[in-house]
Structure 1
Amino acid sequence: MLKTLKTLFARDLGRLRREIELYQTESNLWAIDQQIANSTGNLCLHLVGNLNTYIGAVLGKTGYIRHRELEFSLRDVPRDELLRKIDETMAVVQTSLNQISEEQLPDEYPMLVFDEPTTTEFLLVHLTTHLTYHLGQINYHRRLLDRKLF
């Protein structure tokens, strides 16, 4: 299971990186329109914060401190900085997952995230689906809005 999780996180963080690179106009990373409340830039910051918290800080003991409100309020972070944050998150995720064993996956996750305790395995699978969910939003945002001029 850990090998699968590492593969999925690496694959989808790589896809996130590629989506950010594909924007033809850098300012469109921050575009919102009508009912789309979260820009790609903010979703990218949110994913980085999420993974650095629940994998890096909790499992990898990195000392990362999350500022969730900034994930949605910061604007116009340069593309190169977003890409750097993704690359750093890729390394943190892999290093942190290397610190746990298959035998620890059924253990209770050390932090209460939902209404009731979950296993580490459940939380890690949830994080892969959370990443993929927002990755789909980002892909759609890019294809829909990157062609418009705001």
Structure 2
Amino acid sequence: MSDRLVVCTQCGGVNRLPEQRSALEAKCGKCGAKIFDGHPADVGAEIFDKQIARSSVPVLVDVWAPWCGPCRAMAPAYEIAARELEPRVRLIKLNSDNEQQIAAKLGISGIPTMILFADGRERARTSGAMPASAIVRWVREHLPG
């Protein structure tokens, strides 16, 4: 068994979690925040990049904007999906208004858009609001292994 690398959504610290340790109880060694708290964190460019590049846990990104009605409508479903998918998958949110360069780099043409990353690479992408059950099903269909 190998350790998992998980990036803290609060400070960007990279944490090594032994497989046998409960990830739901783990805290960041740098800032003390819970590693997984069942809520997708809204992250900026630096933590987004670290999540994709350094985490050995798959990362699901919801690209959204505050003015987007479907984005706001999907937010509670994304929260529910986080409680079901964590700690196997990290769920984060990226505000496309605040992070326009990253949204452009990702080729975002419509929101909400969810992108699933694993091993530093994009594995799947979908656009449009979904209920929690569809989010969970979509992620599970596209997870490697």
TM-score (structure 1 length as normaliser) = 0.27
Compare the two structures and name the one with the higher helix fraction. 1
Query: Could you say which structure has the greater relative contact order, defined with CA pairs below 8 angstroms and 6 or more residues apart?
Result: 1
TM-score (structure 2 length as normaliser) = 0.28
Compare the two structures and name the one with the higher strand fraction. 2
